[in-house]
Structures are given as structure tokens and as C-alpha cells.
Amino acid sequence: MSIVEQKAFLASIHPFDTLTSEELERVLGAMDIAYYPKDSVVCDASKEVDRLYMIIKGSVETSDGEGNIEYFGTLDTLCASELLQKCEARTYRVIEELLCYELPKNLFMELLESNEAFKTFYLEDIATRIQALREQSRQTEFTEFLTARIRDIFIHAPYIVEGSTPIGKAVAGMETAKAAAVLVQHENQTGIVTDTDLRRRVILGSVSLDEPIGKIATYGLVTIERDDFLFNALLMMTRHGIKRLAVTQNGEICGIIEQIDLLSYFSNHSYLLSVQIEKAHSVEELRTVTEGFVNIVRSLHNKGVKSRYIARIVSELNTKVFEKVFELVIPKAWHSHVALMVMGSEGREEQIIRTDQDNGLVIENGFRADGLEEKMAAFSHALKTLGFPQCPGRVMVNNPEWCMPLDAFKKNIDSWVDMPEGEAMMKLAILLDARCVSGDTELVTELRHYLFERMSNHPTALAIFAKAVENFEIPLGWMGTFGKEQIDLKKGGSFILMHGIRALALEQKIEATPTVERIKRLNDIGLIDRKFATELIESFDVILTFILQGKLTRLAQGKAPDNSINLQEFSKLERDMLKDALKVVKELKNFIGYHFRLNMVG
Amino acid sequence: MFERLKRNWMKKLLKEPRYAFLFDTPPKDEVVVFDTETTGLDIKKDEIISIGAVRVKGNRILTSSQMYIKVKCDRAISEESIKIHQIRVCDMEDALDPDEAMDRFLRFIGPRPLVGYYLEFDVAMINKWIKPKLGVTLPNQLIEVSALYYDKKIGTIPQGHVDLRFDTIIETLDIPKLGKHDALNDAIMTAMMYIKLKHVKKL
């Protein structure tokens, strides 16, 4: 039935998917399809709006009194705000010929009354909407979590011996094969011998190493099919109180899974990794650990964990890596006289996929570090080996400009503040996000306080610092109709938000470096209200999530990760989220503009 | 002129005065787009299974006044046609008697011009049915979208061969596919073609 067909289409448009079947029927019975050629006007600011429009194909632009242009494309609805009298009537012009559904105003109003979820979509503020949208996309991710199968995790190759094999020989074989348990074939049945059995029966018991291993095996092996759910494996282990299961494929044993692998799949193995980092004795050993970072990020992202939490976990791990490299490379005698700091996104704890290394070393005034250059070269090289790419701006310890005594740093700050031009401000911004990871924290704290002091009584420098938010346009003109399917979400989104907040944090002498923390502080001191703070945090998270998604996709394709996203691959839901988030960025940009009086600095 | 004479002459032949409205002056700017599903492609033997129709006024497809009816037929639906329009024998339970279906259809279209894709076939199927009852065939003006399309396209193609397949036209005109082919969906898509073709000068 084609009525069903149209209904399905309508139900795929958010928020119409929240309507009951009966409500959808009413919509269908009242809806027309209209065609508007390119450049024609869909509705005019001078006329009363009498219907709601839903775009089937094509795109439309409108601008408000302040000259902000907004674009709408496939599956977007037009004129909802006007109908709800939340904004003045606007003129909508067709930029790509348009086919749209039209729904009479009175029915739209009735739906708002009869359906709470539908109403929420149109009336709630952006943060609430983003939350609601997120819930929707989460559901699919959660099911993924429930549908993981045995074959998705690491299955240990089985180590199988005959029951007649002497225990000593079997254990030696276990060692060679690095097996945690041995499977025993004995008189047509399969048993298992674990470390626990060896401890109890051989070491503490009376069984000698020469006796056949079949004697101490446990029979009646608990097995699970390779295609079964991980969940069931977890349940079986719990039920039988065991740590291992034999995995079968068509009834034949093909491997063993360990409880630890299961648990690490279900939590994430960040804990395991941090233990491994601490235990590492060389850069080489560290490297095997850091290679697993991307997989953790991917699995956390797939489980629907918010990007800012993923960033926190990754940042914890990276900090541990830096500490370790510091320990391996920097002589112990230096440790209380120098401070290793990470800056930029690493300093803000926002670097999820490694893009570059921004780090520096502050040296106590008067401390003599012999062989400094060589040590610093080794440090930077070690990080490069571990997959932290070189910083194009050379903000690294092997660059003397970022590795010097405290007083020399202070001198630099003086010169930056006195001559506040583009590059100086960029360096200042990098230093502002500095976070100490090893050595004497006091050195970094003192440096940052000095920076706050020097900048805060210098309004012109502050304004020039903040002005960087105007370097990029917010890409709210994206519909795929402009041939701009690729947009850079860092330049037009996260950078503006992050830097705007950074400028405010500098002005208010806020200690915290992460953007989200800074927003919370700014709200505490009353500079921005609670609603705006929440919207900013949520929007920042949304943009980070999309950037992360893009990077993971590109990594999976074997390409270099960048910050661009392809709108063609976005679902309607995602586009709505992004649009809302970018609106918030725009609001912040305007706020920064008049707060720092940016129109007064050249 | 000739058109009007023909209509008047046909009106005299009309056996059923209650259908005189078919000869009224059509409302300005309105047409009806329609499509039928049939048991097969043989006009003599096959029968109509369903009719989908939608009115168009100016640049708007009035989906709020659309029509979709199924018609009882004596002939078994061939397996081939079941595959195409996915109407199975059991789907025909709410089908109308042919006479009632015809009456609803004629009242829906009134005197409006009819638009369709390979309309000739659909109109022949309808005429086969109404000619014995009314004494006349459909008097409405007929507009063939594939002909409109051909006229706009022929100028751009040097060899003069124009692909007129339904799906090709849909793609060329960049019309959204509404999912499966049934009489109403096809009628709505045809309506989109018609409106778009009115606006393009050349393809």
C-alpha cells in the first residue's frame, strides 16, 4: 500500500517519528506535495505563515534580521519557529528546486498539543534536544554491545596433549606455547588442567611430575560455540565459577577464551594498558602498548561513550606514557629541577587521536643540565617512535625555544604581550594550555601565573588574543548544494568554541585547562549562565564526536586522519545535532565579539 | 474548435445523464494524474486490479485528496504481475465491484485533463469498461508525460533516440523514489514529473 509507503517516509523524519500511528494517518490525510522552482519564494516575510513545510528534495535559504543566513535541506522542516511565534516571519528562497510536503498550521498545532515528544522537539532548548537525539542514536550502539560474539574477541590457540603425557613434559610444553591451560585428550573425553590444578595436585599435593597428566585433569569440559554471544560466555563462567571456556566450532575444539579477555572487551582495556605502561622497561616495550590506543578509542566510541570521557581516558594514558619516557630518558638528578609540560590539545586533555606532540621543558633558574640538547633530542625521538607525530610549529623540547629556564620563558611572555601580533598570540595560546606531567609542577604553575598577571592588565592584548575566533567561518551553509560536501569541523567549529572559552579563561585567570572545566568555572563566576554553559558543553561534545567519527573512519580506510567530515554520509539525525551545535558556536562567537569589543581592534 | 465539436457530439451520445459533469468546463489549473495496475498487458483479455489517482493544482500535488482503490476482477492475477505490483490474491479482499470503482473514479476526475505515463494503455483499459455503460469513451483531455519529456529532451540529443523508461525519466528529472511501484506511488511520481516538466525549458 502506498499510503504505508508515505507513512514510512514521514516516520523517518524526526520529530515525526515520535507520532503515533493514528497521528501519522491524520498528517497523511492533510498533507500536500508542492513544487517550487529555483529562486522562487516559498513563503514571504510579509505574509502570515499558514503551514509547515517538510523538504523532500532540494534546499532553501533564509536570513534573519541580523543577516545570519540559515540553510535547509532534505528532511528539514521550515517555519516551525514562526508558527510557534518564536521568531519573526522570514522570507524563504529556493536555491535548489524544491519538492516539499505542506501541512496546514492548525493540524501542526493540534499535534503539539496531543504529543509531548513532538512538542519537546520544537520547544526545548538546544542542549535538551541534543540529549534527546543522542539517546536515539545510543540505542543502536547499545544493541551492538549486546550482540558481540565470541569470534569478535581474542581466542587463544588450544594446547592439547594426550592423557598419557607425563605432567613435567606437558608443563614444559605449556611454557613454550605460552598457554595458560592445557587440554587433555584422555579415553575419548577432553579435560583441562589449569595452573590451579598444578598448584594443588603437584606442588601442594602428592602427584609427581612423572605421572600422566590425564590423572589430574578435570573432565566434563564446559564449551561454547564460536558463534555464540559473549554475554552467554560471561553467564556460563559465572554459573560454573570458572575462568576459562573451551571454544568449539561445529563441535570441534578450536581454542580457549579467558575471563580476562571477556572483561576487558566489556569494560575497555584501558586499565590493563595503564598497568602495561607502568611495567615497561624500554621505549620499544611502550610502543606495543600505545599501538592499542586506537582500538580502545574505537570500542569506547562504538559503545556510545561521550567523546569528552574518551578524551579523558586517552589523556590519562598519554600522560602515563610521557611520565614513562621522562623516567627512561631524563637523568634522575634532574627530576626535581625541571618540569615537563604538555601543551595544546594534549594540555587541555582533548587529544583523542594523536595529531602532534606539543611539549616543553621548564628548567629551574640556575640549574645546570649537562647534555641537555642530546637528552631532549632523545626524548622527542622516543615520542615520535611511539606514534606522536612531530609538531609542525616545532613546539617540542628539542627546540631550544621551548626548553629553557623559567626566567627565559618569562622574558618571552613579556615580548609577546608587548608586541601582540598573530604568531606571538598563537604561542601564548599554546603556553596557556600547559599542563605539567612530570618533574616539579611548581615551575609550570609559576609560569602560568606570570602569564595571567601580564595579560590581565592588558585589554588590547586580550582582545587581539580573542580575535582568532574570527579567523574562521562557521559552516552553517552546508547542504551539499554548495559543492561543499566536506567541511572542516575543527576550524569552523571546535576551534572557535575552544579558543573563545580559552580567551575568557585567560581574562578570568582560570587555572583549569580542559575546555569543559573552563566552561564550568566561567559559569561558577557568573560570566555565562547555566543554560548557555550546558549548551556549550553539549555542543563541544557533539562536534568532537563527529570529528572523532571522521578520523576513525579514515583510519579504518588506511588514510591519514583529519578534521573534515563528509555531510553526504550524515543521517538526518546527525545533521540536526550538528546544526544545533554549530548554532551554539555561533552564539559564543557573537558573545566573544562584544565581550572583548573585537570590532575595535584591527 | 474541433475539440469542442467532438466533445459536444460525444455528450449527445452519453447514455447516463448523471455523468454529464464529465463535459463541464474543468477547474482552472487542475489536472488528475492516474495510473492503473492490471492483470497483464493485453487490453482485450486483462483487467484492472487497482487505480491510483491524485489531483494536481498549479504546482501542488494534492496528496490530501488522493484516491486508491482496488477492483474485483474475474481473471486470475498472473504470477508475473504479482511480482511487479505485489498485490496478491489475498490482498484483494477489500476490493470494490467494478461498477462502484468506476463511479468513484469518474467522480474523482470530473472534467479535469488526465495526466499519465503511457496513458494510452490505462485509458484504453478504462474505456473498455465505461464504453458499454456510458456509450462514450473518456472525453477528458489527455497529457502524456513521456511525450512532454521527449519534446524537452530531443533537442539535446543529436541522434534523436530518447530513453523513455519510467525509471530513466525519474532519474533524469531527479525525482525522489517513493519506494515500491503501486498505482498511487506511480501516480504521485508521475505528478512530480509533470510539474517539473512544466518548468524546465530544455533537458
Q: pLDDT digit string (tens) for B125-164? A: 999 989 998 989 999 999 999 999 988 887 666 666 788 8
Of A9, A29, A56, the CB nearest to B64: A29
Query: Is A2 close to B183, i.e. CB distance below 8 A?
Result: yes
Q: For position A53, what pLDDT does the model report? A: 92
Three-state DSSP class for residue A63 = strand
User: Which chain B residues are within 8 Å of A30, Cβ to Cβ?
Assistant: 64
Binning pLDDT at 50, 70 and 90, where does residue A563 land? confident
Q: For residues A62 and A319, give the distance between their C-alpha atoms in angstroms, rounded to a whole number.
A: 47
Q: How buried is residue A59: exposed, middle or buried, by Cβ count under 10 Å (0-12/13-18/19+)?
A: buried
Query: What are the pLDDT digits (tens) for A338-362?
Result: 999 999 888 998 888 877 888 999 9
Three-state DSSP class for residue B57 = strand
- Sign of the C-alpha dihedral, residues A157, A162, A167, A168? negative
- What is the average pLDDT across A426-447? 93
Query: What are the pLDDT digits (tens) for B108-121?
Result: 999 999 999 999 99
Query: What are the pLDDT digits (tens) for A257-305?
Result: 888 777 666 555 565 677 678 778 888 888 877 877 777 787 777 766 7
What DSSP line would sit under B61-110, residue for residue? EEEEEEEEEEB--SSPPPHHHHHHH---GGGGGGPBPHHHHHHHHHHHHT
Q: Is A9 on the interface with B (CB under 8 A)?
A: yes
pLDDT at A122 over 50: yes
- Residues above pLDDT 70, as percent of chain A: 90
Q: For position A1, what pLDDT does the model report? A: 38
Of B59, B182, B185, the CB nearest to A34: B59
Q: For position A478, what pLDDT does the model report? A: 46
Binning pLDDT at 50, 70 and 90, where does residue B179 land? low
Binning pLDDT at 50, 70 and 90, where does residue B85 land? low
Q: For residues A548 and A562, give the distance between their C-alpha atoms in angstroms, rounded to a whole number.
A: 9
Q: For position A430, what pLDDT does the model report? A: 92
User: Which segment of A127-136, A460-469, A577-586, B194-203 scores lowest on mean pLDDT?
Assistant: A127-136
Query: Is A2 close to B185, i.e. CB distance below 8 A?
Result: yes
Binning pLDDT at 50, 70 and 90, where does residue A141 land? very low
Q: For residues A16 and A29, give the distance between their C-alpha atoms in angstroms, rounded to a whole number.
A: 15
Binning pLDDT at 50, 70 and 90, where does residue B74 land? confident
Q: For position A306, what pLDDT does the model report? A: 77
Query: Is A35 close to B196, i.e. CB distance below 8 A?
Result: yes
A520 Cβ contact list (under 8 Å, min separation 6): A512, A533, A537
CA nearest to B193, candidates B113, B109, B84, B116: B116
Asked if A507 contacts A341 with a C-beta cutoff of 8 angstroms, the reply is no
Q: For residues A290 and A276, give the distance between their C-alpha atoms in angstroms, rounded to a whole number.
A: 10
pTM for the structure as a whole: 0.55
Query: Is B176 close to A56, i.e. CB distance below 8 A?
Result: yes
Q: Which residue has the higher pLDDT, B157 or A537?
A: A537
User: Which chain A residues are within 8 Å of B176, Cβ to Cβ?
Assistant: 56-57, 99
Query: Is A32 close to B175, i.e. CB distance below 8 A?
Result: no
Bond before A15 cis per omega within 30 degrees: yes
Q: Is A39 on the interface with B (CB under 8 A)?
A: no
Cα A347 to chain centroid, rounded: 16
